[in-house]
Every structure is written in C-alpha cells, then in structure tokens.
Amino acid sequence: MAARSIASATISFGMVSIPIKLYSATQASAGISFHLLHDKCKGRLKQQYVCPTDNEIVPRDHMVKGYEFTKDRYVTFTSEELEALEEKASQAIEITEFLPLEKVDPVYYEKAYYLGPDKGGAKAYHLLAEALQKTGLAAIAKYAARGKGYLVLLRPVGDRLLMQQLYYQDEVRPMADVPVDEAEVKEAELHLAMQLVKQTASKEFHPEAYKDEVRERELALIQKRVEGEEISIAPSAEAPGGQIIDLMEALKASLASKGGAPGAEAPAAEERKPPKRAPKRAAAATPHKAAKK
C-alpha cells in the first residue's frame, strides 16, 4: 500500500530548490489506547474543566491562557497575541550547514519523516541524496510548519532522504546532571566483560526480531473480550530473590552460558588469587528481572 504524504515542502540547497513531500516514518496507530467509560452504563466520559475557586464548570469561551511566573501568579495572553508570535509557515526546509552524521548525538533525535520527490523534483532529489551518500555528510536545516520553527537533520538512507526532527540544545539535559559514583574496574573483570560483549555482538540490527510483548498481550486480551470469552488473569510470578554474587563469578557464568571459555585469555595476574574473603556486593552484576508470565 502506497504511503500518503502529510505535507509538501521545498528543500533549499544553495541555489537549487527541491520540491518534496513528507511521509510519516512511524505509525502512532500501532499503540493501543483505552477510553474512560462510566462503569454503570459504559458511556464514554467527556472531559470538563472546573474552577476550584468558584467551584463551577468553565466553558471554552471563558478560558484564557496564562503563564505562571511565580507561585500562583499568572500573566495572561489572548489568542491573537499568541498567534502573532507563531512562526510563519513557509514550507521551506533551508539547509544551513553540512557535517558528518556521527557528530550529531542521537540523543537529539525526535521524530523522523521520510522525504520523497514532488512533481519535477526527482533529479534534484536524487542529486542531493547521492551527494550526501558519497561525502558521508548530513545536512542541518531549519523548517517552519504549524506555527513553529523546527531544527531538522537530512540524512541519506540508500538512494533516499530521511528528515530527522531534532531537539534544541535547551531541550536536552546534560549527562553531567546524572549522579554516577566512582568505582574501580579491575583488568580481569574488564577482560571477561569484553569477552561477553564480543560473544553476543551482531553485525547488523534486526528490528523484526523484537516484538512489543505487552501490546501483543493487550491485543489478545481485547480479542477475547470482544469474542465474549471469560478472562482469567494469572497471578504474577514473584521476582527472584535478592541473591548477591561476586561480579567476576557473574561474568564467568554469563560467558559459560554463551558457550565461551571464561578466563581462557585472562591476564596472568588473574592466576594469583588472593585469600578468600566475603563475597563483594555487586548490584550491577545481577539486575533483577521480573519473570515472564
């Protein structure tokens, strides 16, 4: 089934203009949404806004938008004032610079859109896609639509183009904000961890190998309910007990389960074992996973 475009735009590439069409790269409809119903009559509920001060329902024509600048203090704006601030939709994707794709951290990636040529734009479209492919570069551009200004990245996918909507810098939290305790990593532990990584490494990503198991269970449950079957919910299996084992032993056991020879190429220092001590706690070695139903 042919994809349906959601918008038209023009890529500005130097003095070249490329008419294109945008297509959604993902399917929001793949998610399952539930509606709120009245348990008595099963009628769908309607949302209402209630003023806690006057204790009354407020209709939309009596609503105004306000910004809370201090606790419980607001400045209000009319719809006309806010509309005047909106970005004028030009439908132009203006390329501002080119750079290596790996220089853009994927943490900045938001939504993705496939781009296809519009009438008369096929040659210029393929020219840009091939130029990016050959140079190994991606394009940073500005795009205005729906009253907002977006930062986007154009990157080649084979002989086609994909537009990645990006977050602005102030929308991405710095990694330094995450507290991380210092810890010493021993050479022998690192050696075994690297062995484990290499054993389970793949050359390519195969997304078809992964399924949304929660969604599949929800769909199966919905189908049973639609067919009028009696549904029984199995009790949740208890998570395994809080067993704490040594980090080295956990790595060796993981390698053994993959058919490897743990410690076969370990540094000579590993052969000189110190006197036995009480097992060290290594919480990160054995994260507890809830047992599957």
Find all residues with CB under 8 Å of 282, minimum gap 6, and list them.
244, 245, 246, 247, 250
Task: Please write down the HEC assignment for all residues of 184-209.
Answer: CCCHHHHHHHHHHHHHCCCCCCCHHH
Tell me if 286 is assigned to some domain. Answer: no
User: How many domains is the chain partitioned into structurally?
Assistant: 1
Secondary structure element (H or E) that encloses residue 157, with its range: strand 148-157
Quote the pLDDT of residue 207: 83
pTM of the model: 0.65
In a domain, residue 14? The reply is: yes
CB 281 within 8 A of CB 244: yes
Q: State residue 159's pLDDT score.
A: 92
Query: Domain for residue 149, yes or no?
Result: yes
Sign of CA dihedral 249, 250, 251, 253: positive
pLDDT of 265 reads: 52
What is d(CA 189, CA 191) in angstroms, rounded to the nearest whole number? Answer: 5
Residue 100 located in a structural domain: yes
Residue 279 lies in a domain: no
DSSP codes of every residue in 86-99: SPP---EEEEEEEE
Range of the domain at 151: 7-27+86-171
Looking at residue 271, what is its pLDDT? 43
Q: Is 217 contained in some domain?
A: no
What's the CATH code of the domain at 105? 2.40.290.10
Per-residue pLDDT of the chain (293 residues; tens, 9 = 90+): 678 888 899 998 777 889 999 998 887 656 688 888 888 888 898 888 999 888 899 988 888 888 888 888 888 888 888 777 766 667 789 999 999 999 999 999 999 999 999 999 999 999 999 999 999 999 999 998 777 889 999 999 999 999 999 999 999 999 999 899 999 999 999 999 999 889 888 888 888 888 888 888 888 888 887 888 666 666 665 555 555 457 778 777 877 876 666 555 544 444 444 444 544 444 434 434 444 43
